[in-house]
Amino acid sequence: MPDCTVVVITYNDARRLPRAVRSVLGQTLRDLEVIISDDASTDDTPRVAAELAESDPRVRYLRRERNSGGCGAPRNDGLDAAAAPYAMFLDSDDELPRHACKSLLTEIERTEADFVSGQISRLYEWNGRLHPYYPDLFARRRVVADIREEPELFLDSFSTNKLYDVRFLRESGVRFPEDIHYEDHVFATELYARARRFAVVPWVVYHWHRARAGSSISLSIKEMDNVRDRVAAARRSDDVLRRHGAADLVPARQYRFLRQDLRVYLNPLPGRDLVWTKEFAAVVRPYLEEIPDEVYERVDPLVKVCCRLIMDDRVEDLRIAAGCLTGPRAAPRAAVQLGGRTYWGTTVSPGLDITRLRLAELPFSASRLRHEVAELTAEGGTVRMTVRTFDPFGVLPVDREAFLKLGGRRVPIRPRPSGDGGYVTEVLFTPDGACEPRIGFTRAADGLTTTDRLIVDPAMTPIELPGGVLGPEGHAAYLRVRRPARRPALLGRVKRALVRRLGTPAMKLRAYKLLIKVLRPRADLALFESDVGKGCTGSPRAVYEELRRRGLPVEVVWSVAKGRGKAPAGARTVRRGGWKYVWTLARAGYWVDSHGFPLDYPKPRGTRYLQTWHGQGIKSIGFDAPDLRGDFDKPRARWRAAVARWDALISPSAEFSRCFVPSNGYRGPVYRHGTPRCDALVKGELAGDPRRRLELPAGKKVLLYAPTYRDRAKGSGRSIRVDLELMAAELSGEWVVILRTHPVERYRPPEHLLPFVRPAGGYPEINDLMLVSDALLTDYSSVMCDYAITGKPMLFFVDDWDEYRLTERGVYHDLLSIAPGPCVTTTEELVERLRDLPAGHAAHAGRYAAFRELWCADERGDAAARVVTDFFGGAA
């Protein structure tokens, strides 16, 4: 008996069937069988399947005499024939990852679950990218005793990302319906209703292939029968729950329909004609009318609006509302604000309430306007269009400037009132490269700008011009200019190929090593870099400003990453990694940076390197950090050689010297002068105007939230561990949050939180954010040491403290015993602490003083001056 049976269903898919079967035969679990269940194919599938069966004794071939018209019957056939105690299902156009069967088998045997479900990922064949389906559902490895514990798992109604206990399926009578499409929805619902327990794992167990011109039941959404089948499957799923005594779960299953199934048809709706839209509304309306109001209150307010418009048979408005669901999520043409509520369109109705989106409360720079292209013509490379602008929330001031933004260009425009509360603009422009045209308005009072994309007819025929191809993008159909699809001339292709070949990192490194052998560094040239070129900030910037203040005869060149960082006025820049950067590295007599110049570049003989570093704190660093503490010689040797280049290191404190210097194997001079970038904190000097730029409201307290990243989840957004939704609900009347994510993190708060949360990951100087704030919320970030200089309250969100210190990053200090403020593990506790902030701050006064003495004793406001004197003294 094999350990696992994989049923591969197929119909007229001879070309892709071998790929699917090979993905099973290549599993790390070798003791398995493959059952090819053919739904009476009329192409070459029988021959291909027979050859596969002949080539491997683990493959069996079943063929139905008549086509069933769906997926249920061939799956049931395969299940009936399964010889193994566990089974999976695979469609012939998809694949299993190599360890899927073995990992799921191990889990089902360990947990004794009735089935195990894993992450399913779309695999886009044209670019090879994987996109996980609802990854939050699979984020934790766990056993679920009853679907009532996690009813959101109804969103996982796939049959293919699961391994089943065959005896459980046979004894419980759970089978696929054979008279309906979307049979897996009904099957999954019965599965959840009958299972004793089931397990969930976070790894990918199924690759769901998506081709550009694919054809399948799930992709034939333009067919009205497809809509009818999906609604029928939803009804039958509800009946399954009622039949098994789980009527209380029907609203959760209906929520799945509104959030997922209905969206499949609503997203492309702007491109459908009115006849199709009206028929679609007629098909889904009866089912929508059965769903209770409390379910609608859980979904996206714009989905609720679409449902209300369907039930009211307002199909023209429905197409407009559906266009707000995807892409730029365009604003409505009109909105009503009444009694503190906001309603979509011109009608006040509970079903049109969009207050939760907070669109009427957005700061001006994030405010939403709607720009519709009414007419568009092109002649001789020039585009002429008429744009209708709607201001549904009344955000445009009288004194303003308007423009069309084309990449880096701005074309002035003159909108004129249209008489219906909106504006009409005649726009003339010449495309010059790929971009997403946007119309922007700059408020004269403070110079702040808001922009929005232009919406066009989804049926618009693309227009090819010398400067680009204009056409609609996505379901929302916003205007986009693409580069013309022209094959470059032979000479151009040869030139680009030569540049690519000669411009590789390895070639640049070889050239650099040759340059430093034949050129002497210039004693009057310095290369400065901050955060690997992401900005011209931090301690390197403070040292630079002191150099300029003294007028020392040193030319400073700033290294700036492509598309990042704004150099000081009048300063020369080179693009990090470019040929000019390589040349400047070889010629500069001084290197100054905060993170590290490229590791493999040896320092030229005679060049002096000042390492300012970029923070201090409790986190492990250097050879103690996760990326270097492993027993791998090459990365440790690279870092050891990189550190050996340093001629001087800035140490903010004795504690920094105690931890950082030995953990990085540094043996050179140490400047114990404090931190140059913290001079501004000591003096209370702002570099910019954060209140204006971030639109911080007067009269509200400001909380700076600055968490650090997690080493095993960089760029995932998982460092944002507090519940911002709950904080907004509880504190938005009194507080506003500045969210300063770590530079390696990728996270942007949802639009409806922007009235409460100001994203500031791109704000150049974190010092400004510390000075303008009233309190700091962090976790394990080094920002806590700098913030202590201000003397203002700090709070610490440490819900993953044990994981972070034991298995994630590692620490040098027990934060819970030295923290200069309350440590909390839940957002509810955080809210309470913020409401009683003065008392909490006072209670930690002793700890705060000790913390400042440990980390900030050397901060006197003159660090940059003392560093310049010591390091650049010979340049005077």
pLDDT reported for residue 502: 80
**What stretches in the chain show pLDDT beneath 70?**
213-219, 486-488, 874-876
- Distance from C-alpha of 187 to C-alpha of 193, rounded to nearest angstrom: 10
DSSP state of 807: I
What are the Cα distances from residue 387, in Å, to 370, 413, 425? 10, 11, 5
Instruction: Please state, as a whole number, how many other Cβ atoms lie within 10 Å of the Cβ of residue 489.
Output: 9
Vertex 234: Cα angle to 228 and 237 (nearest 5): 140
Vertex 175: Cα angle to 170 and 180 (nearest 5): 170
For 281, the 3-state DSSP assignment is: helix
- Give alpha helix (H) positions in 212-273: 224-243, 250-256, 262-266
Tokens 């994309």 label which residue?
A: 453
Tokens 């100001």 label which residue?
A: 758
Report the residue count for the chain: 876
Amino acid at 343: Y
- Distance from C-alpha of 766 to C-alpha of 772, rounded to nearest angstrom: 10
What are the Cα distances from residue 770, in Å, to 394, 582, 684? 33, 36, 10
> Encoding tokens for residue 320?
């407009």
- Are 180 and 72 within 8 A, CB to CB? yes
> Encoding tokens for residue 474?
């996505």
For 607, the 3-state DSSP assignment is: coil
- Distance from C-alpha of 201 to C-alpha of 117, rounded to nearest angstrom: 6
Residues 6+ apart with CB under 8 A from 510: none
pLDDT digits (tens, 9 = 90+) for 287-316: 999 999 999 999 999 999 999 999 999 999
* Residue 481 host element (H or E): strand 478-482
For 577, the 3-state DSSP assignment is: coil
Closest to 79 measured CA to CA, from 163, 193, 204: 163
Amino acid at 834: L
Residues 6+ apart with CB under 8 A from 711: 625, 626, 627, 808, 809
- Distance from C-alpha of 130 to C-alpha of 145, rounded to nearest angstrom: 30
- Distance from C-alpha of 592 to C-alpha of 649, rounded to nearest angstrom: 10
pLDDT reported for residue 215: 54
- Distance from C-alpha of 482 to C-alpha of 431, rounded to nearest angstrom: 9
- Are 92 and 10 within 8 A, CB to CB? yes
- Distance from C-alpha of 814 to C-alpha of 167, rounded to nearest angstrom: 51
pLDDT digits (tens, 9 = 90+) for 585-596: 999 999 999 999
Closest to 739 measured CA to CA, from 759, 764, 769, 710: 759
Greatest alpha-carbon pair distance for the chain in Å reads 93
What are the Cα distances from residue 594, in Å, to 186, 741, 745? 58, 18, 18
- Are 790 and 774 within 8 A, CB to CB? no
Q: Order the strands of the 522-529 sheet from edge to edge.
A: 572-575, 555-560, 522-529, 588-593, 608-611, 648-650, 670-671
pLDDT reported for residue 488: 64
Closest to 603 measured CA to CA, from 545, 668, 555: 668
- Distance from C-alpha of 510 to C-alpha of 867, rounded to nearest angstrom: 33
pLDDT reported for residue 421: 82
Bridge partners of 379, per DSSP, are 382
pLDDT digits (tens, 9 = 90+) for 722-766: 999 999 999 999 999 999 999 999 899 999 999 999 999 999 999
